[in-house]
Amino acid sequence: MEHSRGIWTSTADVDLLLRLAGTGFDWLALDAQHGPVDRAVLHAAGRALAGVHAPFLVRVPAVDPAWIGAALDAGAAGVVVPSVTGVADAERAALASRYPPLGERSWGPFPPLWGGKASDPEVANELVRCWVMVETPGALDDVEAIAATPGVDGLFVGPLDLALSLGTSVDALLDDHDPQGPLARVVAAAERQGILVGAFAGSPTAARRLRAHGIGFLAVTTDSALLTAGVRAVLEDDDA
């Protein structure tokens, strides 16, 4: 099980992203589905984060080849693809993430626009990571086929939407350790194919509960939660 701690961000503030990238998290994710990240922000963030140690991922708005390509063109190490309803969506996401002959990604990296260097297609294909979200009943039903899809590098659980779509709560989902339970099925499918499995936790407490299921690639907090925790720590400090 890969043990990796990331931070989920919903900001268009490039300076804040740059600061967060240097705080010690293994990676950060830019949320273009539920955050104010557009093409202009992708360009600015890619330029700012090009030289930092922590790689960044982009959760794109949908199974959209144009958005997947733009996120990778900006320098993202990978994409997290939401709204997957079955194996056909996973195949589309995988093909959009890699250049021919492995996929259908169009050539157009951003780094040359700011004087940087673009990886050649073969290297880019080797390094990119396509994470397919499992957050719908259809994706859960097809999880074995999705995990076996060429070009899918990891399954990424969205606990909130998965719980909503299954008519349950996040707590009930995380408490379900039945070998045939939703999380166990996702982890087992990933393990059978030798690919990674990750999830959005949002808090250290939820991260520990997800790790108990064998999920180690986790967004352990968010930019807003980190800000709130910092403010509380300052206000509760008797010496402040």
Known catalytic residues are 34
Residue 220 DSSP class: E
Distance CA 60, CA 68 (A): 6
214, 197 contact by CB (below 8 A): yes
**Closest Cα partner for 76 from 134, 31, 122?**
31
Cα 122 to chain centroid distance, Å, stands at 23
Distance CA 116, CA 239 (A): 47
**Closest Cα partner for 140 from 189, 201, 98?**
189
**Closest Cα partner for 144 from 89, 211, 191, 76?**
191
Tokens of 81: 């693809």
60, 32 contact by CB (below 8 A): yes
- Cis omega before residue 204 (within 30°)? no
